[in-house]
Amino acid sequence: MDAMTESSATIYDLAVIGSGPGGTEAAMLGARAGLRVCIIEKSAPGGVCVNWGCIPTKALLRSAEIFDSLQKGAAFGVSVSDATFDLATAVKRSRSVAGKMSKGVAFMLRKAGVEFFQGEGRFRSSTEVDIVREGSAGETLKAKHIIVATGGRTRSIPGLEPDGHRVITSREALALTTLPASMLVLGGGAIGVEMAWFYATAGTNVTIVEMADRLLPLEDSEISQALRRSLEKSGIRVATGAKLENVAIEGDGVSATLSVEGKEPERLAAEHLLVAVGVGGNTEGLSLEAAGVSVERGFVVTDASCRTAVPTIYAIGDVQGGMLLAHKASAEAEIAVKGILGEESVPLCDSLIPRCVYAEPTIASIGLSEEQALRQGIAVHIGRAAFAASGKANAYGNLEGMVKLIFSAEDGCMLGGHIIGHGAVELIGELSLACSLSVTAGQLASVVHAHPTLSESIREAAMHVSLMQAPGS
């Protein structure tokens, strides 16, 4: 989608570099406010999230979920013989879903009157951005305000640089068309866990290697432990407190030494090594120094209003660090545009941004973990409800998991909520609202929840704490 060629004299009220969730949201909000807005995107509309991240990943995970359900069909009276997983077809569907969503982003921008420029944005000054195509600068855009929303890129480890064939990133993992017999996954964060579950469910022998002492090290430890048990039950090997050393690429795969403190080193081999050790900001090639914008540890430096050291330049989403989540970028887009419009905004609180992992069982959380609360010296009351006691979970055969709610023992307000189990990511909205409004266990328990639903487990967990906090208890 190419815009009509603009004169170099054209001055935009707002230029956005990057069309991911944050960039698109910023452009749409600016246009709705009456600003003349343009967006610069080096790839397809929607950025990494739509094209090579959130959306195609979830489409693939859905294919694995259906295949997993078929494998368990006999218990439900559904007999399916010789069910097979066709990775090429699953990938084709995921690419189709991503393509459809990308076209949807392009349509929304066009309908809102946002001018779209294909190419890489490179700062010429604090008010000018060159559009670079095939290595050469083309037109130069001028803007009163600029938002950098270029997202992030997969981090690499020296000596483990991806070759796109044997040592791969999540991008290559989303495009394989032949199911590998084996895979090593380096990194037990959200991306590593999701990819490990997907390939293991499809039939690959998977080993996860995580340097920290547990998977999802930023999540509540009780939830992390439950996840590990579930993954191991499904056949995935999990090695925590571990390192991969002496990695060697061979003709038909990769070999490496697994080192775990207190154990003998073990030689492993697999067809692919998926490196999922985190994300850094996409700051290279932007010539940020020409605009006077500072970068630290690979991320653009901003204040709580997403404003850089240059008052007219903002940065949102993964490129400015913090929690690397698409919905955080969208929320920051609103903050940045309000700043441009001269309106007041409330800075984001990282602990009130919901976090989700889409493997099965899914994980969703908001607020403080039990460990974080205790480290801060906060006395807490904790309510738990196992899905094994839920009528809906039993009817659907999804008994794994629990709801864990954390409340302040002092004032009774909710501090955090953590869910592991089928459908957890669809339940987090209620806990996000409850945590944001600092509701008490009694208030949450007093809300009538439909029966039979998984959400009843939220009420059950809150009720346990409500009874605990009741006078005379």
Position 1 scores a pLDDT of 40
Which residue in the list 381, 449, 451, 464 is annotated as catalytic?
451
Q: Which DSSP letter does residue 317 get?
A: G
Domain segments of the chain as ranges: 11-154+280-340, 167-277, 361-469
Angle at the Cα of 198 from the Cα atoms of 194 and 204, rounded to 5 degrees: 130
Active site residue 451: yes
* Tokens (6 digits) for 202: 């499809």
Position 326 scores a pLDDT of 96
167-277 shares the fold of 11-154+280-340: yes
Along the 473 residues of the chain, how does pLDDT read in single tens digits? 444 344 445 799 999 999 999 999 999 999 999 999 999 999 999 999 999 999 999 999 999 999 999 999 999 999 888 899 999 999 999 999 999 999 999 999 999 999 999 999 999 999 999 999 988 878 999 999 999 999 999 888 888 889 999 999 999 999 999 999 999 999 999 999 999 999 999 999 999 999 999 999 999 999 999 999 999 999 999 999 999 999 999 889 999 999 998 899 999 999 999 999 989 999 999 999 999 999 999 999 999 999 999 999 999 999 999 999 999 999 999 999 999 999 999 999 999 999 999 999 999 999 999 999 999 999 999 999 999 999 999 999 999 999 999 999 999 999 999 999 999 999 999 999 999 999 999 999 999 999 999 999 999 999 999 877 666 55
- By the 10 Å C-beta count (0-12 exposed, 13-18 middle, 19+ buried), 348 is classed as middle
Q: Can you tell me the distance from the alpha carbon of 163 to that of 302, in angstroms, rounded to the nearest whole number?
A: 34
120-131 pLDDT, tens digit per residue, is 999 999 999 999
Q: Can you tell me the distance from the alpha carbon of 318 to that of 181, in angstroms, rounded to the nearest whole number?
A: 33
- By the 10 Å C-beta count (0-12 exposed, 13-18 middle, 19+ buried), 250 is classed as exposed
pTM above 0.75, yes or no: yes
CATH number for the domain running over 167-277: 3.50.50.60
Adjacent-strand bridge partners of 244? 258
Q: Where are the beta strands (DSSP E) in 189-260?
A: 205-210, 237-240, 242-250, 253-260
* Whether CATH 3.50.50.60 fits 11-154+280-340: yes
Calculate what percentage of the chain has a pLDDT beyond 70: 97
Q: Can you tell me the distance from the alpha carbon of 315 to that of 149, in angstroms, rounded to the nearest whole number?
A: 6
Residue 260 backbone phi and psi in degrees, to 5: -125, 130
**Domain 361-469 maps to which CATH number in 2.40.280.10, 3.30.390.30, 3.90.800.10, 3.40.50.20?**
3.30.390.30
Pure H helices in 321-376: 326-340, 370-375
User: Which residues lie below 8 Å from residue 227, measured CB to CB, with a gap of 6+?
Assistant: 193, 215, 216, 357, 359, 361, 363, 420
